[in-house]
Amino acid sequence: MRFSYWPAAGDGFTEIQARCLIAEAAGWDGVWFSDHLMPSSGGPCTPVNEGFTTLAALAATVPRLRLGHLVAGNTYRHPALVAKMASGIDRISGGRFVLGLGAAWQQSEHDVYGIPFPDTPERMARLDEACSLIRSLLDEETTSFEGSYYCLRDAPLSPKPLQARLPLLIGGGGERLLLRIVARHADEWNLFATPEVLRHKLAVLEHHCAAVGRDPLQIKRSVVLDPPREQRGDVSLVRNRLEAYAALGVDEVVIRDSLLRAFGPGLPGAIECFMTEVAAEFR
């Protein structure tokens, strides 16, 4: 399994960059970053760094780790702009970027910024269209697309990503709509889930893959390791979860600062400690 680091979005960039460099030196595989305009809890003026600019800066200064969003909200930006930025970050990074997309869920930030927040079926339909046109923009010389929500006419995207196929990750676990989008479009899929929940979601995903004629093993599986707050320092519980994830074919486990703080006196030490004392045996 790969292990990737998810820094807190509200910390200063210098701190985030320093911790990512520590993770890189300690043998971690990637870094993921959220995409919000304001926090989901706490005071609304709590700092939150913008995801694409932060990842571009990390792409230029952290030389080895894979990097991407968990996940970029489709409602905030036109998908053509997202494809353009993704290609740019991939080139800055030397071909290490993963474009993580989701339908967006945090209504409060839509309300305060005047961004429309459609109901769930429409947000899912928009995400489905966005995945189709982004894939085409990244891969084809020009793209024409006529959907219910987006329309492109002979649209170019140049320069292209360095990767022959820039991976598209889709985040979420909605069984009727979201996992159908995963089956159709995703190279990778991310979920917050216990092993028991993941096992069930995998069965649903396999059903959707069968409906579209796709092998579910073509989709890499990643999870955010997120035990309850009172159990985050329980090394045996964490190891048990990792063993269960491995048995379910999980390719990547993402670890947030909030979990790492339980594994050392400070985050720099905890980043190194988690890799050497917990993650190493599962690699």
pLDDT tens digit string along 150-194?
Answer: 999 999 999 999 999 999 999 999 999 999 999 999 999 999 999
**How far is Cα of residue 46 from the mean position of the Cα atoms in its chain?**
22
Whether the pLDDT of residue 40 is over 90: the answer is no
What integer best gives the mean pLDDT of the chain?
96
Strand-strand pairing, 188-192 and 220-224: parallel
More confident of the two residues 263 and 116: 116
Q: What is the pLDDT of residues 81-108, one digit of tens each?
A: 999 999 999 999 999 999 999 999 999 9
For residue 109, give the 3-state DSSP assignment: helix
Buried b (16+ CB within 10 A) or exposed e, 73-98: bbbbbebbebbbbbbbbbbbbeebbb
CATH code: domain of residue 21: 3.20.20.30
Q: What is the pTM of this model?
A: 0.97
**Residue with tokens 């990778």, as numbered in its chain:** 188
What integer pLDDT is reported at residue 172 of this predicted model? 97
Among candidate residues 109, 42, 43, the one with its CA nearest the CA of residue 75: 109
Query: Domain tally for the chain?
Result: 1
Q: What is the pLDDT of residues 12-22, one digit of tens each?
A: 999 999 999 99
What integer pLDDT is reported at residue 84 of this predicted model? 98
- Residues 6 or more apart from 200 whose CB is under 8 A from it? none
Whether the pLDDT of residue 79 is over 80: the answer is yes
**How far is Cα of residue 150 from the mean position of the Cα atoms in its chain?**
23
Whether the pLDDT of residue 264 is over 80: the answer is no
Distance CA 210, CA 231 (A): 37
What integer pLDDT is reported at residue 14 of this predicted model? 98
**Residue with tokens 């985040």, as numbered in its chain:** 171
Number of neighbouring beta carbons within 10 Å of residue 234: 14
- Is the bond preceding 159 in cis, omega lying within 30 degrees of 0? yes
Structure confidence at residue 55 as a pLDDT band (50, 70, 90): very high
Buried b (16+ CB within 10 A) or exposed e, 261-283: ebbeeebbebbbbbbeebbeeee
Whether the pLDDT of residue 265 is over 90: the answer is no
Whether the pLDDT of residue 278 is over 80: the answer is yes
Q: What average pLDDT does the segment 127-131 reach? A: 98
Q: What average pLDDT does the segment 22-41 reach? A: 96
What integer pLDDT is reported at residue 113 of this predicted model? 96
Q: In the chain, what percentage of residues exceed pLDDT 90?
A: 93
The residue segments making up the domain with residue 270 are: 2-282
Q: What average pLDDT does the segment 17-28 reach? A: 98
